[in-house]
Structure 1
């Protein structure tokens, strides 16, 4: 495992950003080739939201992976979180511009009639301060409060998975798997925080 970690040290954290763009570029390619199905707006909206959730869970798995295997990916966690925020913002932008077409009067109506939209909004609002403070200056300024603030990603993961499940409006396997993974990862982190560390 030491050899793996030594090899990882040679890979700069900025590599996460171009790699993180690959799902977006693939989505663009699918759009250009007409491979987005009968409702391309919904497909783009869904794909961006799902990618955001995947990166959120990817960020959450980094610490347990180190505990269980010794593989240290901590230096990439900030970039992973920022990529997740990028996709969450794109997800919202597609909904506002392409789906609801900036009909602002309908936003409040949708928030009331469709709880999954409100849940998604809350998750994104929580992500904003996490993204804004994802820098060295904020870590130094906030100290221990920075760690407490960034534990809110646990809430984001659960809300994101619930949002996904409610969007589908059924009980298929995929959203249930994401919800189970979210609960498992958050539960593991909380167990380590309150039981193992005391």
Structure 2
């Protein structure tokens, strides 16, 4: 019986074969880091390149976190079970960008670790971000096959803390963004869609293109309300003004509309998958042709 190697290239499956899906995911995970490294090398990150790198790596950590949370909904909605093969890789990518994010902050503080610790303790948004990173590190350490076997039934409960980590990461993103929170609002809207899908699963609500469209609409409305509340609390902008801006199209679309546009992909994917499944079922069975299909007698 073949044994699983201690180390296997991330683009290979458990049998050691090349996996196109895992290879594509691996290259996609590397791409932002390589682009940022190249931009830094060519001095294309503006007057404060380290600050730009800190912000960019933090944003990519949030994006990959949401991608990892999207694996389970997409594999069910699109009936694509092989997506589960890349969930661990995406989770470790989140941790990698988070650690780079912290490392760059240490560089920005001239490697004065006492100052780094003091800033993390005294600045609330840094405390939240650090707690989220510690949580990611725990999930990363316990993501190996050996730890899954050791933890047994406790492993799923532990890894469900990723939802709380997502909330902390997004809150850190909001507080760090300060004035313009359009990007954090958009990613929070997508987080609402992913959590809404899980709520539908938990309460066994029907999953079809119509209910998924309803989920996208509901998430976009909550996103608009959340954005209005945030601006009202942080900057004193009247909520009615922010909500009114969501209805204006002459300048730019607000994040809630982009949440709706992105969320509509779910019912479309689900409808396409259902159509493919019906087409496959409607195909006639191939006729038995004795002259070709019969097994010769021995």
Q: Fold-level match, TM-score > 0.5?
A: yes
Q: Is the 8 A contact 1:52 1:88 kept in 2?
A: yes
User: What corresponds to 1:47 in structure 2?
Assistant: 56
Deviations 1:32-69 (A, max 9, x none): 11110121011000111111111111000010112222
User: What corresponds to 2:192 in structure 1?
Assistant: 183
Where 1:184 maps in the other structure, the secondary structure is helix
Distance 1:132 1:186 in 2: 24
Q: Give the total of aligned pairs.
A: 187
Structure 1 stretches of 5 or more lacking a match? 1-8
Distance 2:110 2:186 in 1: 32
Distance 1:113 1:138 in 2: 34
Distance 1:159 1:184 in 2: 17
Where 1:148 maps in the other structure, the secondary structure is helix
Is the aligned partner of 1:76 residue 2:64? no
1:158-197 aligned within 5 A:
158-193=167-202, 195-196=203-204
Where 1:21 maps in the other structure, the secondary structure is helix
Q: 1:118 aligns with which of 99, 119, 127?
A: 127
Distance 1:68 1:173 in 2: 28
User: What corresponds to 1:35 in structure 2?
Assistant: 44
Deviations 1:153-173 (A, max 9, x none): 111111111111110112431
User: What corresponds to 1:140 in structure 2?
Assistant: 149
More helix by percentage: 1
Between the two structures, name the one with larger relative contact order (CA 8 Å, sep ≥ 6): 1
Q: Is the 8 A contact 1:158 1:183 kept in 2?
A: no
What is the RMSD of the two structures over their aligned residues, measured on CA atoms?
A: 2.0
Deviation at 1:109, TM superposition (A): 3.5
Q: 1:89 aligns with which of 99, 119, 130?
A: 99
TM-score of the pair, normalised by structure 2: 0.58
Where 1:155 maps in the other structure, the secondary structure is helix
User: What corresponds to 1:65 in structure 2?
Assistant: 74
Find the structure with the greater CA-based Rg: 2
Distance 1:92 1:189 in 2: 31
Distance 2:138 2:103 in 1: 18
TM-score of the pair, normalised by structure 1: 0.86
